[in-house]
Amino acid sequence: MIRPPDVVDVTPGPMLLSGIADGPSLAAHRVRQGPLPEADAGALLAVIAPLAVRGRGGAGFPLARKIDTVLAHRSRRPGRRPVVVVNAAEGEPASAKDSALLDVAPHLVLDGAVLAARALGAGTVHLVTSVDRPWAGAAAARAVAERDDHGIRWSRHEAQARFVSGQARAVLELLSGRSGLPVTSWVPESMSGHRGRPTLLSNAESFAHLAAAVHVGADRYASYGTPQEPGTTLLTLTEPAGPDGSFGGSSGGSGRAGVDGVPVVGVRVVEVCHGDAASQVLSAQALANPLLVGGFHGAWLSPRDVPALRWSNAHLRALGASLGAGCVITLARGQCPVEETARIVTYLAAESAGRCGPCFNGLPALADEVRGLAEGADTRRRIAELTGLVRGRGACAHPDGTARIVTSLLTTLDGEVEEHLDGRCGCRALSTVGAA
Amino acid sequence: MSAGAGDVVLRVDWPECRARGLCAELLPERIVLDEWGYPVVLGPVSPALQALAREAADACPRRALHLRPA
């Protein structure tokens, strides 16, 4: 079974995670960052637009463009006042950076939300966490209780424990008191979002970047990263899954046996500068194996490309991948990417909300074929057919993301798939021994 | 197929669609059905086909087929 991590190790970092040793209190945050500066929309955009602060969906949409769109569509009429939504629903089990931020540096996130709300003229900030990570919701509640932001009302929500719960339209459904499943939208939420209002919805990390840029200033912010991609980014590193399918084996407290013999699931959250070498945070074993970048909706990288990998969107794009929400899943030596993909796609198929026909029918069919491949059948033609049938045919990007990881297995790791089918990768031999 | 001048595009409201299949009968030039009966849109709709496309959208019992600007 795939579930969110029990243990999240957070390593101090250069900017967002710089002061976590002082604790998450507002007092410590103010000592470190100073008072919240006043910034109107023009001033805010002047700081963040050149810094290319981005959302963390697959497309990495620039936050400044979202703010611009909200500004263009707001008005004084009732029902048109903008809304700010901090999305830490984090439905992806391989991601923990938004929950971790709320736990260790909540006031950076909340400062970013207040800066955005004031610049846009929004009166309410919605905070969304996941019901299966109650510690993140509790941390957000503690932080909100410490604050006294004039003219800002905080509203907290808990999203269902589903992979698609963090999708923007699913979050807006939750806010409207419905079930929190994705629905069709023809316009971006920055034009018409929560109850039709222009809505600035982004992940918690993006709000923290916004606050950091304003607090430390554009020059210091840009001293991290590269001229093309200034600043830092958070990654959630998942080390090899155990034989029972749970994640584990990271540094620190994870990997130990949990309650009733259920292994503790652990991940590591790190802050890296754009352009940094992956070898600074990945183990020698991870560097020698295929690497899944961008999470369960992400893409595999070939072991040929992993040792020289840099955390740059341009570099990753050239390799057919993207940072997405920053989930990085590493393999152990001898762990087969075909089996790992089959495990993930089986999970993703079960996580379909079941509302869109091509996803509801296509993902289980696709999962069957990928499991067939893992069991040694050459199902590649049928897999290519099915990925073509699900792509672009749903209210949210769940079918597209599921097609992406499978397609990257067949293209980027075509050599590994050949070896697997020839029985040369070792994993089928292992499973035969296990079955005997 | 890329969109030309005056073209509109067909969009399916996927959570609403229940694979009734009328759209493919009324607009076979642009819609075929996949193996589960759901519409596969083949490309943008030129001005010459737009009356038929409108008819197909109006005929959908689920109101799940929409014409949108390209």
Q: Which of A186, A356, A389 sits opposite B14 (nearest CB)?
A: A356
pLDDT for the residue numbered A9? 92
Q: What is the pLDDT of residue A251?
A: 35
Note the pLDDT of residue A400: 97
Gap from A165 CA to chain B (nearest CA, Å): 16
Q: pLDDT tens digits, residue range A269-302?
A: 999 999 999 999 999 999 999 999 999 999 999 9
What is the per-residue pLDDT for B18? 97
Residue A142's pLDDT is 98
Write out the H or E segment, with its range, that includes residue B67: strand B65-69
Please tell me the distance from the alpha carbon of residue A230 to that of residue A228, in angstroms, as a whole number: 6
pLDDT digits (tens, 9 = 90+) for A28-42: 999 999 999 989 999
Asked if pLDDT for residue A388 goes beyond 60, the answer is yes
In the block, residue with structure tokens 């050459």: A378
Confidence class of residue A254 from pLDDT cuts 50, 70 and 90? very low
pLDDT tens profile A347-382: 999 999 999 999 999 999 999 999 999 999 999 999
In the prediction, which pLDDT does A425 show?
A: 83
Q: Which residues of A touch B14 (CB under 8 A)?
A: 184, 355-359, 393-395
**Topology at the third CATH level for domain A336-430:** de novo design (two linked rop proteins) (1.20.1440)
A260 has a pLDDT exceeding 60:
no
- Order across the sheet with A7-10: list the strands: A7-10, A266-273, A232-238, A327-330, A291-293, A299-301
In the block, residue with structure tokens 């030129």: B46
A389–B17 C-beta distance less than 8 A: no
Residue A305 pLDDT: 97
Q: Which residues of A touch B34 (CB under 8 A)?
A: 358, 389
Interface of B with A (CB under 8 A): 11-19, 34-38, 40, 66, 68
- The count of C-alpha atoms lying within 13 angstroms of the C-alpha of A167, restricted to the half-sphere facing its C-beta, is 25
Tokens of A222: 């840009």
Query: Cβ(A51)–Cβ(A222) under 8 Å?
Result: yes
pLDDT of residue A271: 97
Confidence band of A130 (pLDDT split at 50, 70, 90) = very high
CA distance A189 to A121: 16
Contact B9, B45 (CB under 8 A): yes
Residue bearing the bigger pLDDT, A260 or B49: B49
How do the domains of chain A map onto residue ranges? 11-222, 336-430
Q: A436: which residues sit within 8 A by CB, 6+ positions away?
A: none
The stretch A293-318 carries a mean pLDDT of 96
DSSP assignment of A204-236, as one string?
A: HHHHHHHHHHHHH-HHHHHTSB-SSSBSEEEEE
Domain A11-222 fold is Rossmann fold (3.40.50)
Whether A23 has a pLDDT exceeding 50, the answer reads yes
R_g (Cα) of chain A, nearest Å? 21
Q: Residue A413: pLDDT above 70?
A: yes
Of the partner residues B11, B18, B34, the one whose CB lies closest to the CB of residue A358: B34
Torsion sign (Cα): A109, A111, A115, A117: positive
Q: Which residues of B touch A389 (CB under 8 A)?
A: 34-35, 40
| A235 strand-pairing partners | A270
β-pairing verdict for B65-69 and A291-293: unpaired
Q: CB–CB of B15 and A186 under 8 A?
A: no
- Which residues of chain B lie closer than 8 angstroms to A358, CB-CB? 14, 34, 36, 38
Please tell me the distance in Å from A340's CA to the nearest CA on chain B: 28
What contacts A385, CB < 8 A, 6 or more positions away? none
Residue A361 has its nearest CB partner, among B15, B16, B36, at: B36
Helix (H) or strand (E) holding A337: helix A337-350
Comparing CB atoms, the residue among A186, A356, A359 nearest residue B68 is: A186
For the stretch B18-70, pLDDT in tens is 999 999 999 999 999 999 999 999 999 999 999 999 999 999 999 999 999 98
A248-273 mean pLDDT: 61
A·B CB contacts under 8 A: 40
* A361/B14 touch (CB, cutoff 8 Å), yes or no: no
Q: What is the pLDDT of residues A146-202, one digit of tens each?
A: 999 999 999 999 999 999 999 999 999 999 999 899 999 989 999 999 999 999 999
